Structure 1
Amino acid sequence: MNKYFKYTALTAIALAAAAQAGHAQEAVTEVAEVIASPEPSEYTVWILNSLLLLIGGFLVMWMAAGFAMLEAGLVRSKNVTMQLFKNMALFSIAAILYYLIGYNLMYPGDAWIVPGYFGNIHVAVMEAVGLAPENADAIDYASTGSDFFFQVMFCATTASIVSGTLAERIKLWPFLFFIVILTGLIYPIAGSWKWGGGFLDADFGFLDFAGSTIVHSVGGWAALAGALVLGPRLGKYPKNGGVHPYPGSNLALATLGTFILWLGWFGFNGASQLAMGSIGDMADVSRIFVNTNMAAAGGSVAAMVMTQILYKKPDLTMALNGALAGLVSITAEPLYPTLGIATLIGMVGGVIVVFAVPFLDRIKIDDVVGAIPVHLCCGIWGTLAVCFTNPDATWMGQIISIVIIGVFVFVVSLVLWLILKATVGIRVSEQSEIDGLDLDELGMECYPEFVAARA
């Protein structure tokens, strides 16, 4: 709609309404004032900001489908239903725990002094129905509902990262109990140190725009701790050395999952601008979108080229993880880079994945879908890369913050996994692993007519 048509339409509507009331002249004056005003009203800004968070939120929610499809494609056929079930369960658990505990723990406001900080644990509360404009001050830039909706999707994304790493050998209920603690306590506490106005933000000037560390590395550290305690899949690392590959069941699903994640990432990064009520904000959101896209493309191309050089054939799974690596890498700072720099940041992420995946195999850490290289390794890289483009970033502030969050999440996760292992156990029996978790844990298969033998 061009300006002439828009303003003519506004004028016609206003005049038609005013003519019935006998106030045509007043309507013309009012419309002229609206057209002449270069800035939207504070109510318009509040509405547009809320809309951005809601749109971003449902795009990030769509990433849950991406994780489910990616994992379903990269595990063996006998474990697909379990991965789908875990992704449905962890998303639902994350939503409930973030409502009960996480949201207010992550954003404590002025309640930073212990026990005031932990005294801030209570359920999230939305605005009243039919909120009056004068009462829209719980969150000054947008509605509480839109903010909660957007933030809860980040919490669920953190949980999704853990699922793929530990696939094909972990018991269902101990895994879900870990997700309760991760989404209710671990992630909100780590997030509060930066996004909740905590000490990493105040004392170290830590910069992490959309969560290369707060979301992706947190999930990666939790996954790494779980993989160390759980151990590799049966036969993955034979006693005589080497690595026994376990090809995924459906690379079409894995590819679909990657493109879904790629799409969802525009909401993940773009809506983290948290505002689109001005020309500057909207321009920045647009810039974030294109930088996010270029980083993903760079990561994928880099992985394609590197696998061709190293293995004489390009590897589709590496190309998929290369795209995700680029996305994670740009997440810490998608605004400041130029298109070229964003592409280079993503390319470095793609190269990291190509080398990190076999490195984990060499040290016998079994990561089924490559989540640790993508989310942990590239999360660290992306957080450091902020220093190359954002003039407010400092190497010391970024490194110290990475270390503090890494130690906190890894140690707490490791202790929790060890407690679960010593009490209820976290690994299925050998026979269950051979038969597949679909049958043993759930009693159903994703592809019953195609599974002729167990391997």
Structure 2
Amino acid sequence: MEGVQLSIDAVWIMLCAILVIFMQAGFALLEAGSTRMKNAGHVAGKQMLSFSLVGLVFWAVGYGVAFGDSNGVFGTSGWFLNFPAVEGEIPLEISFLFQMAFAAVAAAIAWGGFAERAKLSVYVIFGILFTAVIYPVVAHWVWGDGGWLEALGKQDFAGSTVVHLQGGIAALVATLLLGPRIGKFTSDGKPNAIPGHNQVYTVLGVAIIWLGWFGFNPGSTLEAGDGFFGYVALTTYLAAAAGALAALATVKGVLGKADVPMMLNGILAGLVAITAACAFVEPWAAVLVGAIAGSLTVFTSLYFEKKGIDDPIYAFSVHGVAGIWGTLSTGFFASPRLVEIAGAGQAGLFYGGGFTQLGVQALGVAVAGLYVAVASFIILWVLDKTIGLRVTEEDEVMGLDLSEHGSYGYPEQMKQEPGTVKG
């Protein structure tokens, strides 16, 4: 029976790995649809470039840093998956594919801050270093056997901090160093709308990402036997649905329009927020966590834009801010019965647990955010001073499809007369 159970668990995790990997298709559609036609092929194509880079680097280095023998800060063994076989555990290859898919999602989030103005070479170099020395270090703190935040009882079931906060912080650093896209702000600093070229793509992209999230969160149970993954799937869905409605109501109240992209961001923010809490909170709390995240993403997106920050797909608001809220939420709402099942930390403030768990959650947010911000800034600053982060003004106006790749994603629609440049 133990062998049968292990086989079922292995198939379950492999299925979930495939679902999380399929999220790359969702990100390609979401980011390409949210940007302009002249950059669509570039934005979609770099998603496959990123996925390829992350996979190789995580195989060679990242998995060992995240899950190798611990000194409390990072793993010190397991390069190129050189781990001893352990009888009775899920095969290493399946575990790797599942965890690699998470690292690839974090990188996909980060790329939102680079969109429409960064050199392709920057994606390559930053992607390698992000996967080798940024993402897996925080993953080890929280998920590694012997990681120091894991030892404190930090609750991050599927990665509000490890995946989404890291990606959101890296995106924010990138967008600050790159500066706004040409034409995004007027001479007096007022933002101009630069709408994406295909809203249907963005809807379909979010639908695929939402589907993939049923591998992301439920798969983090790492087993199928007790059926707890079904509960995690329920809280995941409730939070996403609440995020959609809350974001739509909020943007309607603030701007007077039922903005579809903001509703989509609300879905994603609800999913991001519940990712830490999905195994720790009751269904009513999942709805509240998702609704607060949906509203927060609207207010913060508008606020950052007014402050002159051009984040083309609102990566920091959706993944960074919602990741912070989702991580903190378990400090308020973690249920004693679910803490016992999930096996991490203790009950939240509203269940009589005091401020202990909230303090651990806040500490995790602070140190992870600081580490990712400083490391990302150092890497990108060095790249800026050496090869440069940003394409030339002429190339940006022309579009990265043509300037970086030599052909348009939509060649028939983007035809132009010889000697002219389309804006």
Per the normalisation by structure 2, the TM-score is 0.91
Residue 79 of structure 2: aligned partner: 122
Given residue 208 of structure 1, which amino acid in structure 2 is its aligned partner? Answer: D
Cα deviation digits, residues 207-251 of structure 1 (max 9, x gap) = 100000000001111111111111110121111231011010100
Residue 232 of structure 2: aligned partner: 288
8 A Cα contact 1:300 1:320, kept in partner? yes
Secondary structure at the aligned position of 2:143 is classed as coil
Task: Name the CA shift for 1:126/1:200 in 2 (closer, same or farther; >3 Å).
Answer: closer
Structure with max Cα Rg:
1
Residue 181 of structure 2: aligned partner: 233
Q: Does 1:201 align with 2:156?
A: no
Shift of 1:339: 2.4
1: CA distance between counterparts of 2:282 and 2:71? 37
1:102-181 equivalent positions in 2, closer than 5 A: 102-109=62-69, 111-112=70-71, 119-120=76-77, 122-125=79-82, 136-137=86-87, 140-181=88-129
1:244-255 equivalent positions in 2, closer than 5 A: 244-255=192-203
Shift of 1:343: 1.4
Cα deviation digits, residues 253-274 of structure 1 (max 9, x gap) = 0100000000000000000011
2: CA distance between counterparts of 1:325 and 1:119? 34
Residue 3 of structure 1: aligned partner: none
Cα deviation digits, residues 395-434 of structure 1 (max 9, x gap) = 1100111101111110000011000000000100011111
Residue 340 of structure 2: aligned partner: none
Task: Name the CA shift for 1:309/1:452 in 2 (closer, same or farther; >3 Å).
Answer: farther
1: CA distance between counterparts of 2:312 and 2:254? 21
Secondary structure at the aligned position of 2:188 is classed as coil
Residue 63 of structure 1: aligned partner: 23
2: CA distance between counterparts of 1:180 and 1:155? 11
2: CA distance between counterparts of 1:322 and 1:315? 11
8 A Cα contact 1:53 1:274, kept in partner? yes
Quote the RMSD (CA, aligned, Å). 1.6
1: CA distance between counterparts of 2:218 and 2:23? 14
1:1-400 equivalent positions in 2, closer than 5 A: 41-109=1-69, 111-112=70-71, 119-120=76-77, 122-125=79-82, 136-137=86-87, 140-197=88-145, 198-202=147-151, 204-277=152-225, 281-282=226-227, 284-390=228-334, 391=336, 392=346, 394-400=357-363
Shift of 1:113: 7.0
Given residue 201 of structure 1, which amino acid in structure 2 is its aligned partner? Answer: E
8 A Cα contact 1:68 1:257, kept in partner? yes
For structure 2, which runs of at least 5 residues remain unmatched after alignment?
337-345, 348-356, 417-421
2: CA distance between counterparts of 1:347 and 1:452? 44
Q: Does 1:450 align with 2:413?
A: yes
- In the comparison of the two structures, how many residue pairs are matched? 398
2: CA distance between counterparts of 1:312 and 1:173? 41
2: CA distance between counterparts of 1:63 and 1:427? 27
8 A Cα contact 1:266 1:289, kept in partner? yes
Given residue 322 of structure 1, which amino acid in structure 2 is its aligned partner? Answer: G
For structure 1, which runs of at least 5 residues remain unmatched after alignment?
1-40, 128-134
